[in-house]
Amino acid sequence: MSNHVHLLLEVSPLPAGGITDEELLARLKASGNEADVAVVAKRLAEYRKLGKGGEEAAKELHASYTYRMHDLGEFMKALLQRFSRWHNAKHERVGTLWESRFKSVLVEDGMASRTMAAYIDLNPVRAGMVTDPAGYRWSSYGEAMGGGPRGNGKKARAGLVRALMAHKGYKADARCWAGEVSKDYRMLLLDEGEEQLKEVRNTGGRLEVKVVRKGIKKAAVEAELARSRDVALRKMLRCRVRYFSDGAVLGSRGFVDGVFRACRERFGTKRSSGARKLRGSAAVAGETLWSVRDLKKGIG
C-alpha cells in the first residue's frame, strides 16, 4: 500500500541440529554481498581445521547469523530498515517511511489463513484503488492472475495454494492453483452474483440452517451453509476489520485456546480462556473464527 505492507508468512523453525556451513553461506549470499560471505566462509574453514576446539567457535559464528533467520520480528526489522534506507537515498529524503510499527497476528491453517489471505488481497479494493483485486499488480492475487516478467506468477500461485489449502494436505505447488482452488478463491474475493439462500439464514451474526423442503440431503444442506458463509464473508471482507491486524491470534476456538495455554504467563490471573468471539462486522465469522483479543473499538 502507500505507506504500509501486509504479508502472510510461514515462519519455519530452525532445524534441531542447526544448519550446515553450506546452507548458512547460501542464505547469506542471497541476502548480503559476496565479500562478506567470503569472509565468513574463510573463518568457518579455519575453525573446522582446528578440530574439536574450533567446533564451538564455528557454532558461535553460526549463532551470530541464524538467531534472526527464523524470527519474524528480526526479519521484518531488517526488511523495513533496508527498504527505508534504499528509498530515502533514492529519493533524497530523510525520516520515517512506514505508517506505524510492525505488528503481527498468529494465524491458523484453514479457514483463518484463507480469510486472512482474502482480506490482504482486498486491501486495494477497500482503498478504492481498483475494483477487481486481480488488477492490483503489487498483491499476491494480482501476480497470480497476471503473472510477472520473472516467475510468471508461479511463486504467487504456490503461496496462495499454501495459504488456502494446506489444511487439506495440498503442498505449495503452483500447479494446484488451476481449477477449483482459483475459482473458489475468486468467488470469495468478488462481491457479485450472490445467491438467494432460503435454507440458510443469518441471524445476529449466527448462520442457521432451516430445511424448508423434506427429503433434502445432508450434503446439500452443508453445501448451502458453506455458500452462505462465503456470501457473508465477502461482505465482511469489504470492511476494515481490526481483528486481522490487532487480533494477535486468529483461528478456531481450539487453536486460540491452545495458544493461550502455551503462553499463559502473558495473561492476567483472572482470565480462564483464550478464545474471544468476533464482534462488529466480523461477527458473521463468529462461529468459525476466534481471536485472543476482545476488541471493542474500531473493529469494523
In this structure, the dihedral spanned by the alpha carbons of residues 113, 118, 121 and 123, taken in order and rounded to 10 degrees, is -110
Could you give the 3-state DSSP secondary structure of residue 192?
coil
**Proportion of the chain above pLDDT 90, given as a percent:** 44
Domain ends where: 58, 84, 100? 100
| 224 residue type, one letter | E
Residue range(s) defining the domain that contains residue 151: 105-191
Q: Which residues pair with 206 in a beta bridge?
A: 203
On the question of pLDDT at 35 being above 80, the answer is yes
Q: Would you say how long the chain is, in residues?
A: 300
Do 247 and 229 fall within a single domain?
Answer: no
**How far is C-alpha 182 from the chain's CA centre?**
18
User: Per the domain annotation, does 113 fall within a domain?
Assistant: yes
Domain count, the chain: 4
User: Per the domain annotation, does 161 fall within a domain?
Assistant: yes
Do 69 and 110 fall within a single domain?
Answer: no
Domain ends where: 70, 100, 130? 100
pLDDT at 178: 87
Each residue's pLDDT tens digit, 188-228: 888 643 333 333 444 554 445 454 444 445 565 456 556 55
Do 87 and 5 fall within a single domain?
Answer: yes
Give mean pLDDT, residues 62-84.
89
Instruction: Provide CB contacts within 8 A for 26, sequence distance 6+.
Output: none
The grid coordinates listed for 197 are 439462500
User: Per the domain annotation, does 269 fall within a domain?
Assistant: yes
User: Per the domain annotation, does 123 fall within a domain?
Assistant: yes
Mean pLDDT for all residues in the chain: 84
On the question of pLDDT at 169 being above 90, the answer is no
User: Per the domain annotation, does 296 fall within a domain?
Assistant: no
Domain ends where: 69, 100, 131? 100
Q: How far apart are the first and last CA of the chain?
A: 19
How crowded is residue 98: how many other Cβ atoms within 10 Å of its Cβ? Answer: 13
Using 50, 70 and 90 to split pLDDT, how confident is the model at 43?
Answer: very high
User: Per the domain annotation, does 124 fall within a domain?
Assistant: yes
Each residue's pLDDT tens digit, 276-299: 999 888 888 888 899 999 998 777
On the question of pLDDT at 51 being above 70, the answer is yes
Do 13 and 93 fall within a single domain?
Answer: yes
Give mean pLDDT, residues 134-142.
90
Q: Answer yes or no: pTM beyond 0.85.
A: no
Closest CA to 250 of 79, 120, 57, 76: 120
